[in-house]
Amino acid sequence: MRKPVYLDNQATTPMDPRVLEAMTPYFLEHFGNPHSTTHSYGWTAEAGVEKARRQIAAVIGADAAEIYFTSGATEANNLAVKGTMQALGAKRPHMVTLVSEHKCLLESARSVELSGYRVTYVPVQENGLVDLAVMEAAIGDETALVSVMAVNNEIGVIQPIAEIAEIAKARGAVFHSDAAQAFGKINLNVDTQHIDLMSLSGHKIYGPKGIGILYKRAERRVAVTPQMSGGGQEKGLRPGTLAPAQCVGFGEAAEIASREMAQEEGRLRTMMERLKASLKAKMPAVIINGDEDMRWVGNLNISFPGLDGELLLANLRDLALSSGAACASAVSGPSYVLKAIGVDERTAKASLRLGIGRFTTDEEIDFASETLIKTVTKMGGLKP
Ligand SMILES: *Cc1c(COP(=O)(O)O)cnc(C)c1O
């Protein structure tokens, strides 16, 4: 049996062999504790970690001192949301976010609500994008934090974060962005886009799992209360011994992604256009979810009206894809993101997320479109 074609690059990406190569010495040879200051084992490990910090900072126009390693974007989002509300919430007890954020951001927002802060969940339009006027109306003088993701993990739309951040800044609020799906794929710059806090993840950019960062602007108004007690690592914001191999891997992955960004985007765009064209030619009733222009080219979220969603997935064993976010598919039920853009429940269930990436080939694209067309035909075709 052949392995299914991997089309779930929004859930995670395979590791780039160049990343593994950079990491390997830090498991065996350079095993020191990066926080040991009295010998060369510690210094070597620390040097690796600090290089990674500079590599990541360079991609987003930040200072290395503003990068705080975490276990991933989930932890960074928790730290940004809970930590900011705890630090600033006494004076400004309100937070604004989007209904279509990643589950871990929404759950962090629920948690601060339970602590007594107010949260406004701004809706998105049918194209998945926020209406700037609605966003502006939601942000007030009591708003401590505005958190809006850069690229949506389910439907791939790119939110106008620079415009939103400017509104937040004018009201004196801190702006956070979950950029796990955007980092290394579209241009991000913390200064030109007025970003105060940003969450990133290693395993979405062909790096290792279990590592991420919180970018925190070095300004007093950007205050975040730590969520763990420990030995003061990462300037006390995120204590615990760092994992040098993971940090080094994330740094290398960031540098590669940044260097090859334009070239990779072009290649993915060509493949995605081909995939979309062949699907639409044979199945004109197929619906593309999310704005067609303001989107990351590696993501295609499509609905197959009239089909049974569970049966569809069961018939697609040759393709490794998902019907929504990986983290939400453990809990069954249709996607809340598709619901937020007005897709009815039955159609939402008959929807697929196709995520192509660095290692996707033209042959795999052709196999995927042939398989999808064959399966839908076998199931009786679309009934719009
Ligand atoms: C994957 C992802 C996360 C979670 O990142 P982890 O590093 O796996 O914790 C958060 N937000 C978005 C948008 C993601 O795509």
Q: Residue 331: which pLDDT band, with cuts at 50, 70 and 90? A: low
For residue 313, give every residue at least 6 positions away whose Cβ sits within 8 Å of its Cβ, in sequence order, or none.
323, 352
pLDDT of 325 above 80: no
pLDDT computed for residue 1 by the predictor: 64
Which amino acid is residue 346, in one-letter code?
R
φ and ψ of 292, to 5 deg: -80, -20
Which amino acid is residue 287, in one-letter code?
I
DSSP structural state of residue 158: B
Q: Could you give the dihedral angle defined by the CA atoms of residues 257, 241, 66 and 105, in that order, rounded to the nearest 10 degrees?
A: 70
Q: What's the rounded Cα separation, in Å, for the pair 214 and 203?
A: 15
Q: Which residues are near ligand 1 (CB < 6 Å)?
A: 72-74, 102, 104, 149, 153, 178, 180-181, 201, 204, 212
pLDDT computed for residue 328 by the predictor: 47
- How many other C-beta atoms are found inside a 10 Å radius of the C-beta of residue 366? 14
DSSP structural state of residue 230: S
Q: What's the rounded Cα separation, in Å, for the pair 127 and 288?
A: 10
- How many other C-beta atoms are found inside a 10 Å radius of the C-beta of residue 120? 17
| The token pair that represents 203 in the structure block | 């395993």
Q: What's the rounded Cα separation, in Å, for the pair 214 and 250?
A: 13
In the chain, where are the structural domains located?
5-12+261-378, 17-255
Ligand 1: which of 102, 147, 177, 296 to mutate, most ligand atoms within 8 Å of CB?
A: 102
**Domain 17-255, CATH:** 3.40.640.10
pLDDT of 94 above 70: yes
Mean pLDDT (the chain, rounded):
96
pLDDT computed for residue 366 by the predictor: 97
Q: What's the rounded Cα separation, in Å, for the pair 378 and 293?
A: 32
CATH for 5-12+261-378, options being 3.30.70.3270, 3.30.70.141, 3.30.470.20, 3.90.1150.10: 3.90.1150.10
Work out the percent of the chain whose per-residue pLDDT is above 70: 97
- The catalytic residue among 327, 333, 344, 362 is 327
Q: Residue 309: which pLDDT band, with cuts at 50, 70 and 90? A: confident
- Distance, CA 146 to ligand 1 centroid (Å)? 18
Radius of gyration of the chain (CA): 21
pLDDT of 332 above 80: no
pLDDT computed for residue 323 by the predictor: 81
The mean per-residue pLDDT over the stretch 112-125 comes to: 98
- Whether 104 is a known active-site residue: answer no
Lowest mean pLDDT among 152-166, 297-311, 315-329, 337-351: 315-329
> Pairing state of beta strands 299-303 and 287-288?
antiparallel
pLDDT of 327 above 50: no
Reported as a single tens digit per residue, the pLDDT across 184-233 is 999 999 999 999 999 999 999 999 999 999 999 999 999 999 999 999 99
Q: What's the rounded Cα separation, in Å, for the pair 37 and 368?
A: 53
